Structures are given as C-alpha cells and as structure tokens.
C-alpha cells in the first residue's frame, strides 16, 4: 500500500476485555522506530448486541477520519464485518477481520492473523514448512485464521471445541482448499489422544517416512489462560499430551502460560503467541502507514529484557 502521509497518526484496537493488550506498546514502539508521531488507544466494547451502538459509533468516527487504523480482537473479529464497506480477498476467504484501514471514505477489513501466524510458526517450528497434521483448540475468529493458514499450506486439521456447530461451520467454510478437516468435541479429546498413541506405536515398526505422523502440532486458539485468568489451561489437566508434538499457544500475555509450561515440563517444545502478535501487528502497521516497522523495536517495546526478535 502507498504510505498515508500524516503529521500525527491515531490508531487503536477494539475488543473486550482489553486490559491484557500489549498492542499499544507494540504499535507505539513501531511509530517511534519509524520516526512517526502518533498514539494507539484502547476502545473496549462489550460483545454485541450490548456493544452494537458503541461499535457503530467507533467505526463512524473512523470513517470520518478521526482514526487512521484500527485493530479488532475478541469478540468482534466476525461481528465487525457487516459494518465495513469492503474486505480484502484474504479477509473474505477467512471470514474474520483483525485489521481495518480507510480507503477514501470507505473502511476496508483485512486479516493479518493468518500470515502472521504462519510466519512465526515457521520461525518457532522449522518443520512446519512441510504439510503435516494439527489439532486446534477452539472455534472462534482466531481458529478461522489458523485453520485457513494451515490448510492453505496443505496441512490436515482437526478442530476440538465445546461449540462443535461453530467448529463445523469453520470446517465447511474452507472446503474450497480441498484439505482434510475433522471436528470433535472437547469431551472426545481423551479417546482422540489414545488413538494417536496407538498409531504411533504401530508406526514404530514401520520404516520412517513411509507414512505421515498422526499429529505434529497443537494450537490453542482460545483465550483460556490469558491475563488475568492465568491459572487456567485449555488442555485437560489429567490428560497427557500426545507424543512428539509442538505446542503453540496464541495467548501472549503471560508469555509463559500454564499450557506452555506444562508442555515444556512434559519434554515438548512450545511457544506463546508473542511472535504471532508482533508479526500480525507489523503487517497491520504497514497497511496503515506503508512502512514496514522494526521487529526488534516492537519486541523490545513489550519485552525490553528479552533478546531482539528478527
């Protein structure tokens, strides 16, 4: 996109709740590193229908030029769509929006979650470059983005959720990608894991590479474990993790969630969603300004004591 020349930029994020959000620190770091003046504000709006009037008012002010960019998070990634004038092809295919920019007097919805997720997954789990099999926990807007990203890369996906009807709707939305997608209820996780372990035991007697691994990735796409409810995990406490999997938790605050710590304690590799947060935020910043910001500066903005992220 062409740069939007402004002497002062006004960005923000809407969702509910927003007390955990690191986006202001991320985007203000991006502004500073890019030599731009501006601010990034929180616009907490409760779920619809209760928050409908506030959401409409916020988008109207955006359309009038009072904002230069807006992020959208839980629970509005799908709810915001009817109020927009246009969707990018990617956002239309995914059916969820996390970034909005203005084109003239129109509001355009985009999705940077999917490319942001895959970009960080490849950094955290290099084996992800080859299509494999993943288990996703959840059935919300983030699940849609991750499902799309993985299936578009050739992965087989299983979605485990309490709301199986919502998970089935996600599955049915991406049949055009021609990839396998199964839906199970959370109560079916124990039998699912047992079947995986049985498959692994059988594969131990089969030459390596002659058949695909039954599961290599588990992704938490729910907000379970997020600040302030940090004592919880989306994975059942008494259920062992499948063998040889990489655990990716989209929750980024705290950086080390109960899920991530439990996975590492079980001898598995695991990562939080901080890298994805930075990736998708950088893409959003670029949509709004035409400038690709410094990843190192953005990471230092939220975790000043951690090594630079590139």
Q: Read off φ and ψ for residue 246, nearest 5 degrees.
A: -100, 130
**Residue with the two structure tokens 């995986």:** 196
Half-sphere exposure at residue 53, Cβ-oriented, CA atoms within 13 angstroms: 1
Nearest of 279, 287, 289, 301 to residue 24 by alpha carbon: 301
* Tokens coding 49: 């229908």
Single out the catalytic residue among 66, 77, 123, 202.
Answer: 77
66 is catalytic: no
Please report, in angstroms and rounded to a whole number, the separation of the first and last CA atoms in the chain.
23
* Tokens coding 207: 């030459």
CB 35, CB 4: distance < 8 Å: no
Annotated catalytic residues are 77
């Amino acid at each position: 996109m062409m740069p939007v020349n402004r002497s002062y930029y006004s960005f923000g994020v809407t969702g509910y709740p927003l007390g955990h959000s690191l986006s202001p620190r991320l985007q203000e770091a991006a502004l500073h590193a890019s030599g731009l003046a501006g601010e990034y504000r929180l616009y907490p709006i409760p779920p619809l229908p209760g928050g409908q009037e506030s959401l409409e008012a916020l988008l109207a002010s955006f359309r009038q030029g009072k904002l230069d960019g807006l992020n959208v998070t839980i629970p509005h990634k799908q709810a915001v769509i009817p109020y927009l004038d246009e969707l990018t092809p990617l956002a239309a295919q995914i059916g969820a929006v996390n970034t909005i920019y203005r084109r003239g007097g129109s509001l355009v919805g985009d999705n940077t979650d999917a490319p942001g997720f895959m970009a960080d997954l490849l950094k955290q789990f290099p084996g992800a470059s080859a299509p494999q099999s993943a288990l996703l926990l959840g059935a919300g807007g983030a699940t849609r983005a991750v499902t799309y990203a993985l299936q578009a890369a050739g992965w087989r996906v299983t979605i485990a959720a309490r709301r199986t009807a919502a998970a089935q709707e996600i599955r049915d939305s991406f049949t055009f990608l021609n990839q396998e997608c199964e839906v199970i209820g959370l109560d079916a996780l124990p039998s699912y894991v047992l079947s995986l372990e049985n498959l692994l035991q059988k594969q131990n007697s089969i030459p390596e590479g002659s058949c695909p691994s039954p599961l290599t990735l588990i992704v938490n796409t729910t907000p379970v474990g997020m600040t302030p409810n940090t004592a919880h995990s989306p994975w059942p406490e008494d259920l062992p993790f499948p063998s040889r999997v990489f655990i990716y938790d989209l929750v980024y605050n705290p950086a080390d969630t109960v899920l991530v710590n439990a996975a590492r304690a079980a001898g598995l590799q695991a990562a939080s969603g901080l890298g994805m947060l930075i990736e998708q935020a950088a893409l959003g910043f670029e949509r709004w300004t035409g400038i690709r910001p410094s990843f190192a500066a953005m990471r230092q903005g939220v975790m000043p004591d951690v090594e630079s992220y590139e």
